[in-house]
Amino acid sequence: GINAEYMGQINLKMAEQPIEAAQENGDSSSEHLEVEGLTEGGWIQWFCSLDGNEFIVEIEEDYIRDPFNLYGLKHKFEPTRYKDCMELILSPYAPSEHDLQDEAFLELSQDASDIYGMIHARFILSPRGLALMYQKYISGQFGPCPRVLCEKQLLLPVGMSDEPRTSRVKVFCPKCEEVYMPKDKNVNLDGSFFGTSFPHAFLKSYDSLIQQKGKENYVPKIFGFKLYAKEGS
């Protein structure tokens, strides 16, 4: 299948690397080496750079290779499928155009993205993951609260469920504590990439980022006078 072919090309390239390293010819202008359409950069870098995936960060390989961080994930998938997905995630090469036209490869990549998302939800709760998400937060990557009285308070991504393929990612406002759809319509990530706990854990570490806690409600008035509640309202 495409997975065996893809992995075979990766193994071939890795075997060639020591030879290439020894052949220093002074030409450092090429940043992307290719093997039959395969390019350097890695599946993780490729996946995180896709349009609509701007909310996520690149998980460090050391984190993924630590079995402690993957506890409980393996039983959610068929063993061989899980192994193939992990090999794909840790691949040092991005998919080729040929791979992206292969239905079997796309199905494998979809399962790999589910696993990556579940690991991502754990990684962003770690000190390093929180720091990477902090950089995205202060740059306004997640957007401002659409509520006028929140005065452009920056938002944080949140999932409505910790299970994959349940619902799309939402954004949480620390000020009014309401949840909204992302303003960027291209963002179509699964909510499980962030889980239900992320914004609250993030604010425990960076509580000074909230402009002012507490929801300010709009008060309707006529000529400066507050309206009494209507009967039955």
Q: Flag the least confident range among 53-62, 65-74, 176-185, 214-223.
A: 214-223
Sheet bearing 179-180, strands edge to edge: 156-158, 170-172, 179-180
Q: What confidence category does residue 211 fall into, taking pLDDT thresholds of 50, 70 and 90?
A: low
| pLDDT one-digit tens code per residue, 94-107 | 999 999 999 999 99
Q: What confidence category does residue 215 fall into, taking pLDDT thresholds of 50, 70 and 90?
A: low
Q: What confidence category does residue 230 fall into, taking pLDDT thresholds of 50, 70 and 90?
A: low
Percent of the chain predicted with pLDDT > 70 = 77
Q: What confidence category does residue 23 fall into, taking pLDDT thresholds of 50, 70 and 90?
A: very low
And the tokens for 161?
């469920």
More confident site: 75 or 18: 75
Strands (E), the chain: 34-35, 38-40, 93-94, 156-158, 170-172, 179-180, 221-222, 225-226
45 SS3 class: helix
Q: What confidence category does residue 189 fall into, taking pLDDT thresholds of 50, 70 and 90?
A: very high
| pLDDT one-digit tens code per residue, 118-144 | 999 999 999 999 999 999 999 999 999
Q: Is 140 left (phi over 0), alpha (psi -120 to 50) or beta?
A: left
Q: What confidence category does residue 214 fall into, taking pLDDT thresholds of 50, 70 and 90?
A: low
Between vectors from CA 57 to CA 192 and to CA 132, what angle results, nearest 5°?
115
Confidence check: pLDDT of 174 > 50: yes
Confirm if 158 and 172 have CB atoms less than 8 A apart.
yes
Burial class (CB in 10 A: 0-12, 13-18, 19+), 58: middle
| pLDDT one-digit tens code per residue, 29-60 | 434 434 444 556 899 999 999 999 999 999 99
Token look-up 């570490």 returns 205
- Amino acid (1-letter code) at residue 135: Q
And the tokens for 89?
């995630």
Q: Whole-angstrom Cα distance, residue 195 to residue 181?
A: 15
CA–chain centroid gap for 216, Å, is 31
Confirm if 40 and 10 have CB atoms less than 8 A apart.
no
